[in-house]
Every structure is written in structure tokens, then in C-alpha cells.
């Protein structure tokens, strides 16, 4: 029977787990094992039990598929400057290859850098490798992610996000401190990885001593090989067991619900101790919601079912909590991992036997026409679906439950995910390349070129922000902005704050906007209190940016008190991150010789400085309470979490657009239309900002 939204409505949103609401699956096919030879990873774990932790780790290392190819791989690296390494996820590429190279002496004259598309992967993999090497994280083995450098002079194996290595080019254009660069998870084709390809390919020519490894989890490595002048492809045969693929009989209207029901179905019908469950969801909020529902439902079932250990994992999950997903599951329980796409190839969790795949991912999309970028929940590609299924067959035969039909799979899913460079705003990359002295972007050696319209749009934006002059050269402002590891508008806001004498407030705001995780929490039983506490920061009808600054400052005034955070329903962890980021931004201000100055309560100065960067993101109120963007008219709405969501000011600028049920603007501030002409006369004309809109406000809410 279908468990759709109708049923949920009838029950008034009650998620009680009812058995006759089971989701029926059709067993469709078996994804065959690539090679089932060799002992299962779990077996060797079993055998090595009883040894000391360190010995056990060494035994684990020897049991990985890549281990049998150690010598051959080292030989290939010795003989060739560039090697493409292909191996199934979990074969040991990320954790082992840098260690092999280190053991073989490649770190005598430089370090090994290994890039990851995701922060969590860089952190967790480096932690694992430091354990395997018996060293302290941050010493010989370290990691570097934006706003967090956990490495030192001693570091010889450095895991980092691809974006961080890109930034290192700014300070060290030939990467002379590196002897090896491994561009890992190349199949993910993130924007930074794609740009790195071009840069490392170029420096390899002038640095014959530099070794390059490009590693990927998919078999489609020929493209990489062709790009790197026919570099040899080194294959690590995987060890994958058959995975049974199941499809739903009909499309599921509510995939979150369907995923939860399926997880519970598996849990109660399969013997405990036979394997864990991995569920792919699209983001933190969805994962938190699923966690809550699962907890509630299992609690309701009491001792009727075995223990279910719920482990969330997403990019912004605090480090202490990340470790939980790697802990072995007790025989008397089952683990259910609720993960974003991060578990598709970046992280390997042992013991997964069941994969639940709703078929969606949160992906950036970009319209070069309007210059608008939004995060969209989008169907995955066939390649992704198969990677996900493969996660079930690593330690033994597994099962994958696709919450879509086999018809959907065959006919609706694209073969491959479109590389990020073709669906994103290129402002940041163009600024980075320009500051590296790469002016001819059209002829940059892209593995897949971005759409010309996106490049032009980026140039147009950078020109509008006065980053580039008419000749396309970096201006003084642009040079300063390039020092900040932030999106161009955010760094423009900081650099512009010098003129408005509010750099102190601006770096707090920029830091708060860069945390990446939510600032507030809203416990179910105390929602009213939480909302009241939040609205306190909006006194005087200020916008979200100023509220962010007030929050930061109030916390600072209490000497960064944790108690204060509790009382105000604010996540202390997010605040600590904001403080770290702010400290770094303050250091960068000094570097670009901008004095830290406070506007001393002049809120208009702050709003003007924001407008001088965010003027392209301007929207104006419509009669029906929605907004229209000014430059390329499109209907948008203020996100309900904004402090201005009820107030509906006539003119606003927004920080970002997110599409969920509607196209929402997040983090908005009210502006005066005349400021637009003031800060961007080259971008707006008087007629654009004439206040011809209706004077009547919806729902009787007048302008303040
Ligand atoms: O890079 P690849 O997917 O080929 O594999 P890997 O990340 O090097 O992982 C090899 C093995 O190391 C995994 O199967 C895990 O057993 C283990 N590992 C871990 O326990 N904790 C981590 N944070 C990363 C890897
Ligand atoms: Mg890996």
C-alpha cells in the first residue's frame, strides 16, 4: 500500500508506525559483485580482534583492497608524473595511498596534499590516518578547511578541501612546498576540483619533480586520462558483493516518510546484528526531522523492537558527533545512518547492508540569464544511484531500496551528474583566477568548459562590484577582496565597510553569515519562548544582518557565555565558529590595511555598506506580499525564518536565494531605493528605483 501524503494528512501529521502501511517493493535486479574473491573486510576485523588497538589498525590496513597493489602503485608513480587511480569506494585510496607515498620517501622533500570536495571528509579521513600512523592530528598528519587549519610545520600528509588548495595557489603559485598532490574524489567534479585540474596540469609542466595523482571512484576515468595527456590509469579491483535492487511499485509522494517507514520495516523484519542501514537524505534539516520522527516512533514501540542507534551525518555536524557513525554497532542493536550525499563516495561506513535511496540530492543550480543561484532538491543521476546502491555491498551481500520505480530509474534519471562548473555562479572562481594572473579565461584549459554565458555573467558582476576595471584587470578593491576566502559580494561588503566606517560590525555579520549551520534552536515544547528570544534581537524592526550583529555583540558582552546562549535559544557551537571566523577576518582586515572601526550605533551606515555589495540582490514588494527582483524580474518571497517575514518592507536586499516550496530569500535587510543609485549608478537607473509600487500594504501591516 502506498504511504503517501494523504494518509499523513488524515492522521493529522501523526507519524505512528503502522504495519499495514508497509511500502511494497518490487525486487528487480541484482547488481553484480565486481569481484567477490578475498575475505570480507568484516572477517579480517574479526580475526584481528584481541590485538592492541594499534595492531588492529595495522591489520585493517592490510585487509584493504589497495594493499595488494601497494608496490605496483608505487612503481607507477615512480615511472609517471601523472597517474589516474580508479577504485571502488572503500578500497583504501584516500587513507592508504598518501601513507604509501610517505613510507616510500616522497615526503623527504615536500609534503603530500590530498584534496577532498567535502570538509567532513577532510577532517574524518585525517583523523583516521593520524590514528593509523600513531601520531597526533595536526602534527605529521593534518587537515585544512576554510577557517580551520589543523596542520603545522611538521605536517607531511595534509588533507584539505579542494577549495583550500586553490587558495594556496595564491600564496604559492607553483606549490613548491608539495612533492605530491592527490586530487581525490575527482569524479565529484566540484567547481574547485575542475579548476585545480587546470592549475596542477599547468604547474606539472614546469615542475618535473611534482607527482600528481587523480583518484576517482567511478570507472569513467578515460576522460581524466585524456585530459592529462594520456596519463596511465591504475585500477584497484574492488571487492563488492551482490546488491539486490528493490523499487517501489508506484512513485512515493513523500519520500521522507517513505524512507522512515522503510527503515523501520527493515529493522523489525531482519535479524539484529545482520547489518546496518544507510539512508540518503538531502540536508541537515531533513536529517534532523527524520531523526526526530524515528526516535518518536521507536520510543512508541518500546521493547517490541531491538535498539535502533540513529546516527546523523552532514557537513556541519560537530566533529565530536561525527565519530559516532564509525563506532562498531553492538550485536544487540542496529545502526541507521542518516546521511547527505557525503556518504555516497566521500565517507565509508563499515557494516552497511541496507541502503535506502529516495533518489534526491540538494544541488546548486544557476541561471546565467538572471545570475541567480539556488539550492534545489533535484533527482540524482543513474551514476549516483548506482554508487549509493554499491554502499550496501561492501562487507557482504546487501540490499538497496529505491523509493522510486524502475521506470523512473530508466527513463527519468540522467546518466551522469552535470559538473558543478556548468551549473554555478563563477564569480568566485573568476576572481581567484584573475588574482592568479590568469586573464584569458576563455582559453583556460577546462576539462569541461563552463557555459560562456556564465563566464560573461561573472565578469559582469565583478565589473559591477568594481573588482575589475573596464579592461578586465583586477582593481585595488578587487585585490583586497581576493584576500578574503569568501564569495565576492561578502568580501565586497567587508572591503566597502571602510568607507562607511563600520568594519567592526561588518566582519561580525560576515562571520555570522559564514557559519553554515543554524544559529537558533527551537525545541518543540518551547517554540514560543524561542521565537520571543529571537525577536528580541529585531527590536526597532531591523533586518536580519543587523540582528546577526546584535546577537554576536550581545554574546561578546557576556564574555562569550554559554549560559547566555542557552537562555536565548542560540546554538553555542555555531557562535564559537562565528568567533573563530571573525578572528580570522579581523586578521585579514589588517593584512589589507583596513582599520577596525565601529559605526557606534549608526545602523544606516551598516545597511548602506551591505547595499554597496548586495545591490544586485535587490527586490521590491508587490501588492500580494511577494517580491520581485529588480534586475531580472522574478517572483520571490522572504523566508519565514527572517525577522522581516511579517513586516514586509518595500525595498530589500537579500543574502541568498533558496528554493524549497517557493523561491525564498534568506537574510534580508531593508534599504532605501535611492541608495541603489548612490552605490551603483552604473547598475541602476532612476527609473528602476522609482517607487511606483502600491501604497497599500497587505494584511494591514504598514511600513514602519
Ligand atoms: O578512498 P576510498 O573510498 O577508496 O577508501 P578510504 O576512505 O581510504 O577508506 C578505507 C577504509 O578505511 C574504510 O573502509 C574504513 O574502514 C576506514 N575508514 C575509517 O574507519 N574511518 C574513516 N574516517 C575513513 C576510513
Ligand atoms: Mg576516498
Range of the domain at 361: 6-31+240-420
**Cα Rg of the chain, angstroms:** 26
For residue 437, tell me if it sits in a domain. Answer: no
Q: Whose CA is nearest to atom 24 of ligand 1?
A: 125
* 64 Cα–ligand 1 center, Å: 9
Domains: count for the chain: 4
Element spanning 25, H or E: strand 25-31
pLDDT value, residue 32? 59
Q: 261 with 374, same domain?
A: yes
Q: 531 with 665, same domain?
A: no
pLDDT exceeds cutoff 50 at 699: no
pLDDT value, residue 394? 85
Element spanning 267, H or E: helix 255-269
For residue 189, tell me if it sits in a domain. Answer: yes
Reported as a single tens digit per residue, the pLDDT across 405-446 is 999 999 999 998 899 999 999 999 999 999 999 988 889 999
| 387 C-beta closer than 6 A to ligand 1 | no
| 395 C-beta closer than 6 A to ligand 1 | no
pLDDT exceeds cutoff 80 at 580: yes
Q: 291 with 335, same domain?
A: yes
pLDDT exceeds cutoff 60 at 38: no
Q: 474 with 385, same domain?
A: no
Given 548, 579, 607, which residue is the final one in a domain? 607
pLDDT value, residue 442? 86
Name the band, by pLDDT with cuts 50, 70 and 90, for residue 192. very high
Q: 97 with 227, same domain?
A: yes
Q: Which residues of 275-296 are buried (b: 16+ CB within 10 A; e: fewer)?
A: bbbbbbbbbbebbeebbebbee
pLDDT value, residue 24? 73
Name the band, by pLDDT with cuts 50, 70 and 90, for residue 236. very high
For residue 316, tell me if it sits in a domain. Answer: yes
Q: Cell numbers 557494516 label which residue?
A: 351
Q: 159 with 249, same domain?
A: no
Q: 541 with 456, same domain?
A: yes
For residue 113, tell me if it sits in a domain. Answer: yes
| 142 C-beta closer than 6 A to ligand 1 | no
pTM for the structure as a whole: 0.86
Q: What percent of the chain has pLDDT over 70?
A: 91
The answer to whether residues 516 and 145 touch, using CB atoms and an 8 Å cutoff, is no
Given 420, 435, 468, which residue is the final one in a domain? 420
For residue 48, tell me if it sits in a domain. Answer: no
| 63 C-beta closer than 6 A to ligand 1 | no
Dist. CA 42–CA 350, nearest whole Å? 8
* DSSP string computed for 34-52: SB--S--HHHHHHHHTTS-
Classified as helix, coil or strand, 485 is coil
For residue 429, tell me if it sits in a domain. Answer: no
pLDDT value, residue 624? 94
Q: 213 with 359, same domain?
A: no
CATH of residue 382 = 3.40.50.300
The answer to whether residues 82 and 231 touch, using CB atoms and an 8 Å cutoff, is yes
Reported as a single tens digit per residue, the pLDDT across 305-362 is 889 999 999 887 877 778 888 888 998 899 999 999 989 988 888 899 999 999 999 9
Q: State how far the alpha carbon of 230 is from the alpha carbons of 81, 84, 207, in Å.
A: 11, 10, 18
Name the band, by pLDDT with cuts 50, 70 and 90, for residue 691. low
Q: 326 with 401, same domain?
A: yes
Q: 365 with 246, same domain?
A: yes
pLDDT value, residue 695? 45
Sign (positive or negative) of CA dihedral 284, 290, 292, 298: negative
For residue 59, tell me if it sits in a domain. Answer: no
Find, among 372, 376, 365, the residue nearest to 457 by Cα.
372
Sign (positive or negative) of CA dihedral 165, 170, 174, 175: negative
Q: 464 with 498, same domain?
A: yes
Torsion angles phi and psi, residue 607, rounded to 5: -60, -35
Q: What percent of the chain has pLDDT over 90?
A: 72
* 549 Cα–ligand 1 center, Å: 41
For residue 89, tell me if it sits in a domain. Answer: yes
pLDDT value, residue 524? 79
Given 553, 574, 607, which residue is the final one in a domain? 607
Mean pLDDT value of segment 200-221: 92
Reported as a single tens digit per residue, the pLDDT across 441-476 is 889 999 999 999 999 999 999 999 999 999 989 999
Grid coordinates representing 161 are 578541501
Name the band, by pLDDT with cuts 50, 70 and 90, for residue 301. confident
Dist. CA 442–CA 455, nearest whole Å? 8
Q: 619 with 676, same domain?
A: yes
| 348 C-beta closer than 6 A to ligand 1 | yes
Reported as a single tens digit per residue, the pLDDT across 509-541 is 999 999 877 899 888 789 999 999 999 999 999
Amino acid at each position: 500500500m502506498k504511504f503517501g501524503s494523504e494518509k499523513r494528512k488524515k492522521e493529522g501529521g501523526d507519524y505512528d508506525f503502522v504495519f499495514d502501511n508497509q511500502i511494497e517493493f518490487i525486487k528487480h535486479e541484482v547488481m553484480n559483485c565486481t569481484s567477490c574473491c578475498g575475505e570480507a573486510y568484516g572477517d579480517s576485523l574479526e580475526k584481528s580482534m584481541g590485538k592492541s588497538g594499534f595492531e588492529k589498525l595495522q591489520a585493517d590496513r592490510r585487509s584493504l583492497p589497495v594493499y595488494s597493489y601497494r608496490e605496483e602503485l608505487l612503481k607507477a608513480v615512480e615511472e609517471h608524473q601523472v597517474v589516474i587511480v580508479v577504485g571502488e569506494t572503500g578500497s583504501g585510496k584516500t587513507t592508504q595511498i598518501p601513507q604509501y607515498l610517505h613510507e616510500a620517501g616522497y615526503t623527504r622533500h615536500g609534503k603530500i596534499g590530498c584534496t577532498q570536495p567535502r570538509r567532513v571528509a577532510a577532517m574524518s579521513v585525517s583523523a583516521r590516518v593520524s590514528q593509523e600512523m600513531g601520531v597526533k592530528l595536526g602534527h605529521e598528519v593534518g587537515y585544512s578547511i576554510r577557517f580551520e587549519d589543523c596542520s603545522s610545520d611538521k605536517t607531511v600528509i595534509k588533507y584539505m578541501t579542494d577549495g583550500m588548495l586553490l587558495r594556496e595557489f595564491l600564496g604559492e603559485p607553483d606549490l613548491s612546498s608539495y612533492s605530491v598532490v592527490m586530487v581525490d574524489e575527482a569524479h565529484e567534479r566540484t567547481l574547485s576540483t575542475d579548476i585545480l585540474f587546470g592549475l596542477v596540469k599547468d604547474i606539472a609542466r614546469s615542475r618535473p619533480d611534482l607527482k600528481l595523482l587523480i583518484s576517482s571512484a567511478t570507472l569513467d576515468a578515460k576522460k581524466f586520462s585524456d585530459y592529462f595527456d594520456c596519463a596511465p590509469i591504475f585500477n584497484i579491483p574492488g571487492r563488492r558483493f551482490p546488491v539486490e535492487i528493490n523499487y517501489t511499485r508506484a512513485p512515493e509522494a513523500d519520500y521522507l516518510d517513505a524512507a522512515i517507514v522503510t527503515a523501520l520495516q527493515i529493522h523489525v523484519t531482519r535479524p539484529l546484528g545482520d547489518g546496518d542501514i544507510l539512508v540518503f537524505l538531502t540536508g541537515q534539516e531533513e536529517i534532523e526531522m527524520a531523526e526526530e520522527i524515528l526516535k518518536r516512533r521507536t520510543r512508541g514501540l518500546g521493547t517490541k523492537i531491538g535498539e535502533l542507534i540513529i546516527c546523523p551525518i552532514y557537513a556541519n555536524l560537530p566533529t565530536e558527533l561525527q565519530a559516532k557513525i564509525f563506532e562498531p554497532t553492538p550485536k544487540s542493536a542496529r545502526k541507521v545512518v542518516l546521511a547527505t550525499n557525503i556518504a555516497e563516495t566521500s565517507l565509508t561506513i563499515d557494516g552497511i547492508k541496507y541502503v535506502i535511496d529516495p533518489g534526491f540530492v540538494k544541488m546548486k543550480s544557476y541561471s546565467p540569464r538572471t545570475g541567480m543561484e539556488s539550492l534545489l532538491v533535484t533527482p540524482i543521476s543513474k551514476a549516483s544511484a548506482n554508487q549509493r546502491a554499491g554502499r550496501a555491498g561492501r562487507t557482504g551481500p546487501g540490499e538497496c531500496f529505491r523509493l522510486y520505480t524502475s521506470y523512473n530509474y530508466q527513463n527519468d534519471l540522467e546518466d551522469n551528474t552535470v559538473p558543478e562548473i556548468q551549473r554555478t555562479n563563477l564569480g568566485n572562481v573568476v576572481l581567484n583566477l584573475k588574482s592568479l594572473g590568469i586573464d584569458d579565461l576563455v582559453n583556460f584549459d577546462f576539462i569541461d568548459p563552463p557555459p560562456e554565458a556564465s563566464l560573461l555573467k561573472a565578469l559582469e558582476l565583478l565589473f559591477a562590484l568594481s573588482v575589475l576595471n573596464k579592461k578586465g584587470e583586477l582593481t585595488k578593491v578587487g585585490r583586497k577582496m581576493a584576500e578574503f576566502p569568501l564569495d565576492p559580494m561578502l568580501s565586497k561588503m567587508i572591503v566597502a565597510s571602510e568607507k562607511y566606517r563600520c568594519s567592526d560590525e561588518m566582519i561580525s555579520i560576515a562571520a555570522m553569515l559564514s557559519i553554515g549551520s543554524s544559529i537558533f534552536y527551537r525545541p518543540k515544547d518551547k517554540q514560543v519562548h524561542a521565537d520571543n528570544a529571537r525577536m528580541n534581537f529585531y527590536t526597532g524592526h531591523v533586518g536580519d544582518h543587523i540582528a546577526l550583529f546584535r546577537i554576536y555583540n550581545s554574546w561578546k558582552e557576556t564574555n562569550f557565555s554559554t549560559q547566555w546562549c542557552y537562555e536565548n535559544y542560540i546554538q553555542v557551537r555555531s557562535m564559537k565558529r562565528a568567533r573563530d571566523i571573525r578572528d580570522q577576518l579581523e586578521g585579514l582586515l589588517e593584512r589589507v590595511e583596513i582599520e577596525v572601526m565601529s559605526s557606534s550605533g549608526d545602523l544606516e551606515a551598516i545597511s548602506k555598506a551591505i547595499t554597496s555589495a548586495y545591490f544586485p540582490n535587490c527586490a521590491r514588494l508587490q501588492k500580494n506580499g511577494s517580491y520581485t527582483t529588480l534586475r531580472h524580474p522574478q517572483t520571490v518571497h522572504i523566508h519565514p525564518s527572517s525577522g522581516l517575514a511579517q513586516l514586509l518592507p518595500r525595498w530589500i536586499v537579500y543574502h541568498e536565494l533558496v528554493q524549497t516550496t517557493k523561491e525564498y530569500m534568506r537574510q534580508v535587510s531593508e534599504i532605501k531605493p535611492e541608495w541603489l543609485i548612490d552605490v551603483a549608478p552604473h547598475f541602476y537607473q532612476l527609473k528602476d528605483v522609482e517607487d511606483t509600487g502600491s501604497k497599500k500594504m497587505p494584511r494591514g501591516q504598514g511600513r514602519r
